[in-house]
Amino acid sequence: MTATLEVRDLKTHFFTRAGVVRAVDGVSFAVDRGKVLGLVGESGSGKTVTGFSIMGLVDPPGRIAGGKILFKGRDLASLSEEEMRALRGNRIAMIFQDPMMTLNPVLRIDTQMIETVQAHERVSREEARQRARDALGQVGIPSPDERLRSYPHQFSGGMRQRVAIAIALLHKPDVIVADEPTTALDVTIQGQILAEAQKLCRVTGTAMIWITHDLSVVAGLADDIAVMYAGRVVEQGPVDEVLDAPFHPYTVGLIGSVPSRNRRGEPLRQIPGMTPSLLDLPAGCTFRARCPRAEPRCAEPPPMAEYSPGRFARCIHPYNVPEMAA
Amino acid sequence: MSAAVQEVAGAGLAPRAPVMELRGVSRRFSRGLDLAAKVAQRLGAPVKEEIVHAVDGVDLSIAKGEVVGLVGESGCGKSTLGRMVAGILPPSDGAILWRGRDLRSLNGADAREAKLRTQMIFQDPYASLNPRLKVAEIVGEAPMVHGIVRRRDLEPYVDEQMRRAGLDPAFRRRYPHQFSGGQRQRIGIARALAVQPDFLVCDEAVAALDVSIQAQILNLFMKLRRELDLTYLFISHDLGVVEHLSDRVVIMYLGRVVEAAPAEEVFRRANHPYTQALLSEVPRIETRKRAFAGVKGEIPSPLNPPPGCHFHPRCPHAFDRCRVERPALKPVAAGHTSACHLNDRT
């Protein structure tokens, strides 16, 4: 079975005056129907640019410099802007961190939603309105008929994010790219949004890419996980295996930094140093300077290796692989 | 656990004298009526001034050397409370006692000392540093002005502050924009410590940082606590961070304290339905493929909070009394108080 969405060796580079920024440099992963892939990384790791590349939303000076984005076998990276526009918002949709990226502040919700429906399908205004109403109800907005006539500023932050999700759902897309949609929300509201997302995948079979910096959110939501560092996926696999027995020293450090993973009051295990500048990446393994296991061999770029079935890591001295111990 | 577990204010004699005590502290914000509204009001239109009860009758006492975690969602008044404790914002009602003396009754040298002894670390390391000043100026300005250090000793003094916050003193001539978020937060910490405070109010001090950097800064806070015998009011929405750091946790909802207890007690035996809901919603790395449920409903507007217990419209256990009567904060166990009518039922 082919995956709904498969990204193969994606390279998205920004050609700036200061030099080439390799924001995404050889990223590969796949998501199946009804599954959630958690794309985890810190600021500057390239996770958002990966999401934008899938949506065809990378603006100059950035462009996709290599690789394939296969949506049901069709390469999105090679489509014309017109062909892409027919798919975007229709078969693949995005939810942004800030719902006001989706919403137009001066238009009523019904105007925006009806427009979205009619952009891809020839339906009557009345039918489009009905679809909009149903989508709002589906994401748990009370009295959707009245809320359709509201403007975005009349909603709270959590409600706005629900509207943005409802818009993403209008055409029952095959793929949703969600870029930190709950980061700006409060804990109790985040719980509500995560519940909606879960229900959605289960009921409609949408494949979802959930981009986040928060390992705890991914732990509860995702089936698979891909950890990004400095533009590359350094580790990927099923969520339980990656979180319980991480291979890559960066993943080990990231999990160790989560406060609940530590004894109360004792110093947190921390990763020394900071993320390198993408303009000036060290040769070889980009994590080398912060890695407790670094050795001279790390000056060569480590290949992505499958250490156990479905479990990949870009490291020559991984943890938790007994037979590999040097 | 060496942590000093303190009784909440009003519960009697504390083993160690509190450094900071809040008694019935409230803070209201109102926007005055504009001309058109005033005219309309004169003519008999039902125009009223809008008043936000950001903090509503909070009692809290913090003992020397204690780390108190203050938790709540946006709009619950935790930052306003922090600002009042730091002396940046005066309360509308109630009294804040610093070492047993009302902040409002202090003047001259005493008032200045009270302000210097309590410093604040802010959330946004980008907005809280003057972009036009070099690090040495940011850190060195206040101790110079307040006569803590003489000009000829300033350089080594600033170097020491920077080193203590984990910054290389070689960077003293750099500007804030040349630093990363985590390093900027260290500059903010060095600036706060330069006036030799004994009390730090940290308002979401690690919320803007990446996980790996957040761990570095939290470790720095704990190291400084040991070295300088600091007392902290640690404000955060992140329960994981608060659990790790705090001796005692205070939960706020819509301007009021709903529960206060030693950290372990809160996480093991939460009493208030809001605290329980909050704890069950926190995503944890240990829980996989869980079913998220979500607390019903929205956080109500502080402009028009529900009567009685503020949490009753979202509470699964609410009964008639909750809709009319404000529950008082009452002890439910040693050092553990909760504001819930359910505790009177059995």
What are the distances in angstroms from CA B165 to CA B159, B269, B271? 10, 36, 38
Question: Nearest CA of chain B to the CA of A268: how many Å?
Answer: 6
Confidence bin at B16 (pLDDT 50/70/90): low
Report the residue from B216, B244, B283 with minimal CB separation from A219. B283
Whether the per-residue pLDDT at B7 is higher than 50: the answer is no
Whether the per-residue pLDDT at B121 is higher than 90: the answer is yes
Cβ separation B294–A159 shorter than 8 A = no
Question: Nearest CA of chain B to the CA of A21: how many Å?
Answer: 18
Per-residue pLDDT at A198:
84
Instruction: Tell whether A163 lies on the interface with B, counting CB pairs under 8 A.
Output: no
Please report, rounded to a whole number, the percentage of residues in chain B having pLDDT higher than 70.
94
The three-state (H, E, C) secondary structure of B147-206, written as one string: CCCCHHHHHHHHHHHHHHCCCCHHHCCCCHHHCCHHHHHHHHHHHHHCCCCCEEEEECCC
Q: 7-46 in A: which are within 8 Å (CB) of B?
A: 42-43
How many whole angstroms separate alpha carbon B287 and alpha carbon B154? 51
Strands ordered across the beta sheet of B336-338: B118-121, B199-203, B231-236, B67-71, B248-253, B256-262, B336-338, B330-333
Cβ separation B244–A194 shorter than 8 A = no
Cβ separation A265–B213 shorter than 8 A = no
Asked, as a colleague might, if the bond just before B307 is cis with ω within 30 of 0, I would say no
Cβ separation B290–A220 shorter than 8 A = yes
Per-residue pLDDT at A320:
86
Instruction: Tell whether A122 lies on the interface with B, counting CB pairs under 8 A.
Output: no
How many whole angstroms separate alpha carbon A9 and alpha carbon A13? 13
Instruction: Tell whether A253 lies on the interface with B, counting CB pairs under 8 A.
Output: yes
Q: Where are the domains of chain A?
A: 5-32+39-91+174-189+202-324, 101-170
Residues paired with residue B101 on neighbouring β-strands, in sequence order: B98
Instruction: Tell whether A191 lies on the interface with B, counting CB pairs under 8 A.
Output: yes
Residues of A in contact with B295 (CB under 8 A): 188, 191-192
Per-residue pLDDT at A241:
93
Residues of A in contact with B290 (CB under 8 A): 220
Q: Which residues contact B160 (CB under 8 A, 6 or more apart)?
A: none
Tell me which residues of chain A have a pLDDT lower than 50: 324-326
Q: Where are the domains of chain B?
A: 18-345
Confidence bin at B192 (pLDDT 50/70/90): very high
Instruction: Note the ipTM here.
Output: 0.76
State which CATH number among 3.10.20.30, 3.10.20.580, 3.40.50.2000, 3.40.50.300 fits the domain covering B18-345.
3.40.50.300
The CATH homologous superfamily of the domain defined by A5-32+39-91+174-189+202-324: P-loop containing nucleotide triphosphate hydrolases (3.40.50.300)
Q: Could you tell me the maximum CA-CA distance found in chain B, to the nearest angstrom? A: 69
Cβ separation A195–B211 shorter than 8 A = no
Cβ separation A191–B293 shorter than 8 A = yes
Cβ separation A269–B244 shorter than 8 A = no
Query: Which residue of A45, A97, A187 to mutate against B (max B Cβ within 10 Å)?
Result: A187
- pLDDT tens track for A185-223: 778 778 888 888 888 888 888 999 999 988 988 998 999
Q: What is the mean pLDDT of residues B161-180?
A: 90
Residues of A in contact with B212 (CB under 8 A): 42, 253-254, 257, 270-271
Q: What is the mean pLDDT of residues B3-32?
A: 68
Token pair listed for A293: 């296991």
Per-residue pLDDT at B4:
42
Whether the per-residue pLDDT at B8 is higher than 50: the answer is no
Q: Within a 13 Å sphere around the CA of B15, how many CA atoms are in the beta-carbon half?
A: 8
Residue of B nearest to A141 (CA): B297
Confidence bin at B13 (pLDDT 50/70/90): very low
Cβ separation A219–B212 shorter than 8 A = no
Cβ separation B290–A188 shorter than 8 A = no
- pLDDT tens track for B38-84: 888 888 877 777 888 899 999 999 999 999 999 988 778 899 999 99
Residues of B in contact with A259 (CB under 8 A): 215, 218, 240-241, 243-245
Computed on alpha carbons and rounded to an integer, the radius of gyration of chain A in Å comes to: 21
Cβ separation B282–A187 shorter than 8 A = yes
Question: Nearest CA of chain A to the CA of B267: how many Å?
Answer: 12
Cβ separation A191–B3 shorter than 8 A = no
> In this structure, how many other beta carbons lie within 10 angstroms of the beta carbon of residue A299?
12
Residue recorded with tokens 């009806």 = A114
- pLDDT tens track for B273-313: 999 988 888 888 887 767 776 677 777 877 888 999 999 99
Per-residue pLDDT at A326:
41
| Identity of the amino acid at B282 | V
Residues paired with residue A208 on neighbouring β-strands, in sequence order: A36, A176
Q: Number of A to B CB contacts under 8 A, please give it.
A: 144
Residue of B nearest to A262 (CA): B244
Q: What is the mean pLDDT of residues B233-242?
A: 90
Cβ separation A261–B294 shorter than 8 A = no
Alpha helices, DSSP H, located in A6-124: 47-55, 81-87, 109-120
Per-residue pLDDT at B294:
65
Q: Give the least confident one: A83-92, B2-11, B225-234.
A: B2-11
Residues of B in contact with A268 (CB under 8 A): 215, 218-219, 244
